[in-house]
Every structure is written in C-alpha cells, then in structure tokens.
Amino acid sequence: MSVDRGPTRVSSLVGGVAAAFSVSVIGVYSWAALGVGFLGLISLVIGLLAGKQSAITLGASALFVGVLLAGIEGVPALVLLVATVGAVLAYDSATTARSLGEQVGRNAPTTRLELVRLSATTLVGVGAVAFAYGGYALAAGGDSLTALVLLLLAAVLIASALR
C-alpha cells in the first residue's frame, strides 16, 4: 500500500483561497500589485499541486511584493493590512498542507488539526490588524513614528503566528 505524500486538501484549498483574496483586495486599487500578486498566486498554486516548498515561498513572496507595490501607490492602510493577513494565511496554509502531506500523507485524517491552525492564524492576524490599524488611526494626525512602531509590531505578531 502506497501513501500519497502530496499536500493535504483542506490547507491547500485555504492557501489558494487566501492568496486569491489577497490579490483581489489589492488588485482593486493597483494594476501593478494585481499583476505581481497574480504571479504569486499562480506560483503558490503550482507549489501546492507539485508539493514544492520553493514555489510556495516564491508565490508568497510575490504576494508580499504586491502588497508593497500597492502601499507605494497609496492604497489605504487597512486594505494593506487585510491583504497582508491574506498573504500570511496563504503562506501558512500552503506550508502546512505540504508539511502534513509529507509527514502523514494526503489522505490522513488531519482536518481538525488544519482547522485549528487556520483559526489560530486568522485570530492572530485579525488581532494584529486591529492593533495596527488602531495605532495608525490614533497617530494619523500626529506622530507618524508611533504608527510606524505599531505597524512593525503588528508585522512581528503576524510573523509569530507562523511559529
């Protein structure tokens, strides 16, 4: 009996949907961000289909570059934060799908584990967005250094969700 070591289905689906969400959020505001983000989405999906971490990482990186391009073009901060959470969720879910598939097999009963991880990552992401946007809104009329520090702290919280 052979075990299929491909990425798990639930996290693969979530990863693809989260990447598409991130691209669609920034794509409404910026053609350049849409183009780079779409290339990231394609790379991430190819990585999921082939079970290749390098393609997943490249795709997630392109999603982040798309968010950065959108920021350079003046997209509102809340949109950038939401798109960033979508990109982080896409990367985390895709990496989880590949790792679980490699370790226990694609058909192993991992749905509960995947949904718990998805919930935790989403909760941390939403909390980071609320915290960062709240700090940004408070500092919008005054000290931009405070907003920068809070946005960097939110980025650290989002990244810690991956650990």
Is the CA virtual torsion 119, 54, 48, 28 positive or negative?
positive
Is the CA virtual torsion 42, 43, 44, 45 positive or negative?
positive
Q: How many CB atoms lie within 10 A of CB 146?
A: 13
pLDDT in tens, 5-17: 778 888 999 999 9
User: Per the structure block, which two tokens stand in for 56?
Assistant: 């997943």
pTM passes above 0.75: yes
Alpha carbons 95 and 12: distance in angstroms, whole number? 9
pLDDT in tens, 20-60: 999 999 999 999 999 999 999 999 999 999 989 999 999 99
Under DSSP, the state recorded for 102 is H
Q: Can you say how many angstroms the Cα of residue 21 is from the centroid of all Cα atoms in its chain?
A: 9
The domain locations on the chain are 9-118
Is the separation of the CB atoms in 158 and 124 below 8 Å?
yes
Alpha carbons 35 and 53: distance in angstroms, whole number? 22
pLDDT in tens, 74-123: 888 888 889 999 999 999 999 999 998 888 877 888 889 888 888 888 88
Q: What angle do CA 128, 132, 138 make, to 5 degrees?
A: 150
